[in-house]
Structure 1
Amino acid sequence: MTPSPTSPPARGFSAQRAILLLALLLFAAFFLGPLYVMVSTSLKSMDEVRNGTLLSLPLSPSFAAWSKAWSSACTGTDCGGLRPFFMNSVLMVVPAVLVSTALGALNGYVLTKWRFRGSELLFALLLFGVFMPMQVVLLPMSQVLGTLGIASSVWGLILVHVLAGLPSTTLFFRNYYAGLPDELIKAATLDGASFWQIFLRIVVPLSTPILVVTLIWQFTAIWNDFLYGVVFSGADSKPITVGLNNLANTSSSVKEYNVDMAAALIAAAPTLIVYIVAGKYFVRGLTAGAVKG
């Protein structure tokens, strides 16, 4: 019987598909291998780490190393674990992400729908900030924080990350809003809607895809930052990345690799959870216009 011209072609198991599947499995194993080593090592005792192999499964899985990394591991002279560093990162990341995203959305809205003389130059200057090396701003930023009286504090880190993230968030929203029809803004203006009414009631509800992209992008960048954290933080405001570095470099009579691995996983857990839960929305948001313009 001759198959219908409109019927989809048969998808048999060919040599090409087998090679492609094998290549994907190899790439997955290559990228997930270090994560497996970290998880398995963190669940082992030090005797198992010394006597076993790198890829061996834990014989008696235990979260003792996780508990020590969280509450009693030494990070220099302090032996309070990563808990205070983790809380500093939370206090820093939440407001920094929200403020930088809100300002980026407002900038993108103004630069696309309410253009003014010099708006293109302003956007070009903001865009320059995306490519500026972070090391360039360390000295002037430290002087600004000192002048404002918020140096070596969580508030100082929040301001630094808001300013550092503003070029990227503005770029994301500006490119996304360029795809929104101008007729929406003109119709709302003719109906008597104000600047803020149009932005809050029309533009923001249409911005869900790019909001998700920006929130994930900013959260990951700020949480994983080390340079700003080590330069601008004080003794009581160091973020999780600095705490992890101090823990790993603390000298002791016995190097506890299981504690180091558990600490690294604790530091990476928030970003891993965010991408596992919202990764598909991140991809959808990118394809909805975050990289267009």
Structure 2
Amino acid sequence: MRTDSPASTKPANLVWHRIALWSVLLLFALVFLTPMYVMVTTSLKDMAQVRGGSLLSLPTSPSFDAWAKAWGSACTGIDCGGLKPFFMNSVMMVVPAVLISTAIGAVNGYVLSKWRFKGSEVMFALMLFGMFMPLQVVLLPMSQVLGWLGIASSIWGLVMVHIVAGLPSTTLFFRNYYVGLPDELVKAAMLDGAGFWRIFWRIIVPLSTPIFVVTLIWQFTNIWNDFLFGVVFSGGDSKPVTVGLNNLANTSSAVKEYNVDMAAAMIAGLPTLFVYIVAGKYFVRGLTAGAVKG
């Protein structure tokens, strides 16, 4: 009687394992992407099709009218200027907050990994404590500090809040990455007469591209998507896009325009989606290069 050898059954088993793996992955991808599919298709429908059609049906005559209204004329409370001013507020807040928190985190990580001093480990542990502290705890003291500085309810107040809140994570990323760099590089540069800043700019920074990408994407996503700080520390003219989206979705009107709400949600989420599509592979490379190691 003929029996198959292990060598002949191994490829068949491997094929079935791959089929099962891809099936599970495709199922998870389908579940994950279904809400986005609903958002995109609903935003391209008119209200007649939204009311009379299926949630999963494709738009019969796609139109960007809902997108135009969400951007420029949808009402958020008594203001009917759309998401445009809120979107610009987020841009003005995110750019300096991301750049400054990343730059300070790079210097902190450089000091805590290559220029250790007495008590540096304790300082690093205290900074890490900030990553696990509930954000609600800092709302009252932070509002008092912003009031003392005269930047309460302003975009620069939000910038400062996000810089302070982001320092623990940016410091952790850079510190753990720089620990993996050979100390001999710094010692050799010191023997050649290079100082603190020259070593940082000429040696450390050129080797830090992966971790800079990771930190920039991480900070951009956290700050752009933040709602708590935006709703607590912003004023009438400094509200970010997440607060504007919330106000738009909760504004009462005679007819609830779900297509406009979905278009507004897509507009608010497009920047982070764009960043991950463009730089997602570099984010993964940066993580594997040691961003969360140690």
TM-score range, shorter chain: over 0.9
Match of 1:223 in 2: 224
- State the shift of 1:285 in Å: 0.2
Name the structure 2 match of 1:199. Answer: 200
Residues 268-289 of structure 1: CA distance to partner in whole angstroms, max 9, x if unpaired?
Answer: 0000000011000000000000
Q: Distance in 2 between matches of 1:282 and 1:89?
A: 22
TM-superposed deviation, 1:17: 2.2
Are 1:116 and 2:117 an aligned pair? yes
Deviating more after overlay: 176-185 vs 19-28: 19-28
- For this pair of structures, how many residues does the alignment match? 285
- Counterpart of 1:73? 74
Give the deviation of 1:18 after TM superposition. Answer: 1.9
The TM-score with structure 2 as length reference comes to 0.95
Bigger Cα displacement from structure 2, 16-25 vs 167-176: 16-25
1:14 positional shift: 2.8
Percent identical pairs in the alignment equals 78
Letter of the 1:183 partner, please give it.
E
1:164 aligns to what? Answer: 165
The amino acid of 2:24's aligned partner reads A
Q: Distance in 2 between matches of 1:17 and 1:288?
A: 28
Deviations 1:168-204 (A, max 9, x none): 0000000000000000000000101111000011000
Q: What SS class does the counterpart of residue 19 from structure 1 fall into?
A: helix
SS in 2 for 1:150: coil
Q: Determine the C-alpha separation between the residues in 1 that align with 2:57 and 2:262.
A: 15
How many Å separate the matches in 2 of 1:18 and 1:86? 44
- Corresponding residue number in structure 2 for 1:239: 240
Corresponding residue number in structure 1 for 2:213: 212
TM-score (norm 1): 0.96
The gaps in structure 1 that reach 5 residues or longer are 1-8
Quote the residue 2:256 is aligned against: 255
Alignment of 1:22-101 (within 5 A): 22-101=23-102
Partner of 1:6: none
Gaps of 5+ in 2: 1-9
Look up the match of 2:135.
Answer: 134
The amino acid that maps onto 2:34 is: G
Query: Who is 2:186 aligned against?
Result: 185
- Judging changes above 3 Å, is the alpha-carbon distance between structure 1 residues 13 and 109 closer, same or farther for their aligned structure 2 residues? closer
**Who is 1:269 aligned against?**
270
Q: Deviations over 1:199-228 (max 9, x none)?
A: 011000000000000000000000000000
Runs of 4+ in 1 over 3 A off after TM superposition: 9-13
- Report the residue type matching 2:113 in the other structure: T
CA shift digits 1:106-144 (9 cap, x unpaired): 000000100111111110110100111100000000000
Q: CA deviation at 1:16?
A: 2.4
